Structure 1
Amino acid sequence: MGIWTTQALRARGIGRRKQARMVANGELHRVHRGIYVDGKATADSFARALTHSLADVALAGHSATQKHLGQKLTFPLELEGPRTIRGEKFQVKHTRRQTTQVVDGVRVVEPLWAARQSKYERGWLLERYYQGHRGIDKLRRDVERMRRVPRQLREFLTRCSIGADSVAEKILAEELRRVGFQVQHNVLFAGYRYDLWLKKLGILIEVDGYEVHSDAKSFVKDRWKSNDGAGLGCVVLRFSAECVRFHLKQVVAKVKEIALWIRQGRPRRDEVGVKGNPVFNWHEGVRGVFI
């Protein structure tokens, strides 16, 4: 794919009439006034042409989300720049400030800026882009580089599952936030990373998927991880991903129960025969199995 300006075409001896014929024959595709591409006319080729040829113009909004998440660009393209420009398959909105980076040869506003401007899909973009424990560090660097993060965006970030590794973890975190808990993801303690951290209560939560935690090494590591978390003075709760998906109500109820116990000062509850509701009484996967 080549990007051509009217001046570059004229320098090759291709005048106005020949340019028109090439456009009519599909050899050239007009992107904007004085800007053309050859080859296939795709949203990606238009994005490259616009961000290369127009000063300080970058993909924004939905187009920025698509690019950052590695999705296929679609028309119409959304861009930002120093002045408003409207084309047949794109629109450049005027903006006073933007932080940009180059992704696959296309200038794109950074994810935080895209989220600031695109409220509808900001959660989808931020949670996918800043996924896993590396995402937390990446977000910290981007916040420092952006310097001025609007208050509404900062508040939204506290409600996002930034750093979540799995869908089940995200589901549980969202439900815990909904009922009033403050939740952090992928927190590092004593060399281990724990899925969820209820800091004010000192509760560490692990959401275990069978595929990741079924081998012998993981079996040993998970037990020492829980032991070391308890040794730090925390309460360590472990739930399976299946429990979160199919018994979310019971999972949240257990977290609430432990939170209340902590707020009451952790009274001893070691009486033999204390009434409870063992998991084999209600869990579909283990019903009838006595432990």
Structure 2
Amino acid sequence: MRLKHYSGGLSAHQLYLRIKKGVMTRLAPGIHVWGKPSPVEAAHVLSAQGFLLTGRTLAQLMMEEEVTLPIEVSIPHRQRRSDTPWVRFHRTRIFRPATWGEFNIELPVIAATRLATAAALRFLNHVYAGRKGQAEADKHAKEKLSARAKRLLNQAAIGADSPPERDLVAALRQAGLRLKCNSKIGDYHWDIELLDYGIAIEVDGFRYHRDSEETQANFRRDRWKANDATLRGYTVLRYAAGCIYQQLGQVVDQILAAVRPDPKPGRWSFGVWKWHPYFQGLGPGFL
């Protein structure tokens, strides 16, 4: 990086003149750099000074989005720093340093509390996605957390791999069901397990089962996977990702019927060709 932190050697007046001429930039009190940094470069400098990247800045970096000013950093509550157009300081009593690549960061579950709820959940879903996500979230949950951080963890789709899985998780939680994403049953991982009912749910995209040697292997493995869960006493339910996008209400209704049998089942109890939009000629978008 072309910019370096400058910490001394010039009087306040000399610094002022260099800042005015654009030779130097004042990021924050006592923190000056040569030239004018990009937001990412400013984040590098602030991180190198021991500040923890947090909030919107950390979310933008980890989700590979454009980083915008001001850079948000976390500092211990006993410290006092004045915000500038370049940096916003968050004082916290729960100061939990971590690293991500070459950056010093605040634990993501704590950093998320600097965001609005929707943005915080989107960030946590990204950070704690996949099979390792649950273990990582569990490890971070052992730290001292605020009440809001705990609520966000409980609301997030920890371990979910894809947007349709997360949409289904949110809908099932809204229906009052306890669940676990990327749950291991036997030797296999399932997208969602309903913890109180012995129900294993899988959400498949069309590409997952397209004709190729790899997807043929997936197809064969999934037959054995479903049989294995069935023989362990699980009810197995499978849905195409398109059904989550276009028929979420019917999907949830059918899952609830497996949980709490209804004497008046929904239209899903009839042949799918009789009611599903895909079979009504509305195209593959409704898979």
TM-score, normalised relative to structure 1: 0.82
Q: Does 1:238 align with 2:234?
A: no
Say if 1:47 and 1:59, in contact at 8 Å, map to a contact too. yes
Q: What secondary structure is seen at the aligned counterpart in 1 of 2:233?
A: coil
Deviation at 1:226, TM superposition (A): 0.8
Say if 1:84 and 1:93, in contact at 8 Å, map to a contact too. no
Across the two proteins, how many residue pairs are aligned to each other? 268
The amino acid that maps onto 2:4 is I
Change (3 A) 1:51 1:217: closer
Say if 1:37 and 1:45, in contact at 8 Å, map to a contact too. no
Change (3 A) 1:130 1:30: same
What does the per-residue CA deviation read over 1:93-112, in whole Å, with 9 as the maximum and x for residues that have no partner?
32223111233433221101
Separation of aligned partners in 2, 1:207 and 1:86: 48
Match of 2:126 among 108, 125, 128: 128
Q: What secondary structure is seen at the aligned counterpart in 1 of 2:22?
A: coil
Say if 2:121 and 2:155, in contact at 8 Å, map to a contact too. no
Q: What secondary structure is seen at the aligned counterpart in 2 of 1:165?
A: coil
Q: Does 1:59 align with 2:53?
A: yes
Separation of aligned partners in 1, 2:92 and 2:156: 26
Deviation at 1:79, TM superposition (A): 1.9
Separation of aligned partners in 2, 1:79 and 1:126: 18
User: What is the percentage of aligned positions where both structures have the same residue?
Assistant: 26
Match of 1:27 among 23, 27, 32: 23
Separation of aligned partners in 1, 2:154 and 2:90: 28
Match of 1:184 among 159, 180, 186: 180
Change (3 A) 1:259 1:97: closer
Match of 1:279 among 222, 247, 272: 272
- Partner of residue 94, structure 1: 91
Q: What secondary structure is seen at the aligned counterpart in 1 of 2:260?
A: helix
What does the per-residue CA deviation read over 1:231-267, in whole Å, with 9 as the maximum and x for residues that have no partner?
1100001111111111112211211222124x99xxx
TM-score, normalised relative to structure 2: 0.83
Instruction: Indicate the larger mover: 171-180 or 84-93.
Output: 84-93
Match of 1:199 among 195, 199, 214: 195
Q: Does 1:105 align with 2:98?
A: no
Separation of aligned partners in 1, 2:42 and 2:269: 64
- Partner of residue 254, structure 1: 254
Deviation at 1:88, TM superposition (A): 2.4
- Partner of residue 220, structure 2: 220
Say if 1:68 and 1:111, in contact at 8 Å, map to a contact too. no
Aligned pairs for 1:148-187 (under 5 A) are: 148-187=144-183
Deviation at 1:164, TM superposition (A): 0.7
- Partner of residue 139, structure 1: 137
Say if 1:194 and 1:204, in contact at 8 Å, map to a contact too. yes
Deviation at 1:16, TM superposition (A): 6.1
Separation of aligned partners in 2, 1:130 and 1:160: 9
- Partner of residue 270, structure 1: none
List gaps (5 residues or longer) in structure 2.
Answer: 282-287
Separation of aligned partners in 2, 1:276 and 1:101: 50
Match of 2:111 among 111, 114, 131: 114
The amino acid that maps onto 2:138 is R
RMSD of equivalent CA atoms: 2.5
Say if 2:56 and 2:114, in contact at 8 Å, map to a contact too. no
The amino acid that maps onto 1:122 is A
- Partner of residue 269, structure 1: none
